[in-house]
Amino acid sequence: MEINFKNKRVLITGSSRGIGFAIARGFLEEGARVVLSSRNQNDLDNLKEMYCKEHSSDQLSAFSCDFTSSENVNKLKNSILGIWDGLDIVVANVGSGRSLSDPVPKEDNFEKVFSGNFDVAVHTARVFYPLLKEAQGNLLFIASVAGMEALGAPVDYSVAKTAVIAFSKNLARKAAVDGIRVNCIAPGNIFFEGGSWDKKILEAPEQIKQLIDTTVPMQRFGQPEEIVDAVLFLCSERASFITGSVLKVDGGQTTGIF
């Protein structure tokens, strides 16, 4: 199946590492023009230099942004408009799993985790909606299976991801009239070097192995590239009649959960 993103203008939030990093590479390999974004400009500059060894410098831009601030997100939009006329695709990937295991997390931590996962999604959608409307484009949220069922993940993180999923589905219904498709991907346990699972394995390898063997039917971690394939499909013309969907990519962890 051929998926062509030649010259499509794509913003990927939180693209300096992990899933976002892999998504950026996937779009670049398919010919898209990509904006990298995260909080740290030095990390982005290093990534841009690395990517430019494989792709044209005209294909890639990088801007730092704190997505918890709507003012910052508006500045990012203006920076993008300074190099392109608009955007065709926005992948809202920013999120944080740093949370507490308390049954009812402390108020300040709950608000911080909720803002770092839900508010960033809303800011992104609100600011870039007009550009996507003009382009008849795509908005894709990266959530988590922890937002679909009580799997034992921290309460604050799970609730925030549930809110992202609800937001994406409700927005999809409203945005369809403007020609915008809105979808969501809910990854399961994704391993990458330096990620949260990498750290957990170093701390308790046997416990984590048992967890994966007993809760994931495929008995393995997913790879960022497996999320990328789902992202590329949902943002492509091959998925032209798909909006409001939540695609689980979790090795069967939530099989039977609706």
pLDDT per residue of the chain (258 residues) written in tens, 0 to 9:
667 899 899 999 999 889 999 999 999 999 999 999 988 888 888 888 887 777 777 889 999 999 999 999 999 999 999 999 999 999 999 987 666 677 887 888 889 999 999 999 999 999 999 999 999 999 999 999 999 988 888 899 999 999 999 999 999 999 999 999 999 999 999 998 888 888 889 999 999 999 999 999 999 999 999 999 999 999 999 999 999 999 999 999 998 644
Q: What is the DSSP letter of 119?
A: I
Residues in the chain: 258
- Quote helix, strand, coil % in the chain, to nearest 5: 50, 15, 35
Q: How many helices (H) does the chain have, and how many strands (E)?
A: 9, 7
Let me know if domain 9-249 sits in CATH 3.40.50.720.
yes
Q: What is the pTM of this model?
A: 0.92
Please tell me which residue in 5, 51, 157, 192 is annotated as part of the active site: 157
Domain boundaries defined on the chain: 9-249
Q: How many CB atoms lie within 10 A of CB 65?
A: 26
Q: In the annotation, is 51 catalytic?
A: no
Put the strands of the sheet holding 89-92 in their side by side order.
60-64, 33-38, 9-13, 89-92, 138-142, 181-187, 246-249
* Predicted local confidence at residue 54, as pLDDT: 79
Structural tokens at position 148: 């679909």
125 closest CA partner among 94, 156, 81, 161: 94
| Proportion of the chain above pLDDT 70, given as a percent | 97
Given this model, what pLDDT does residue 258 score?
46
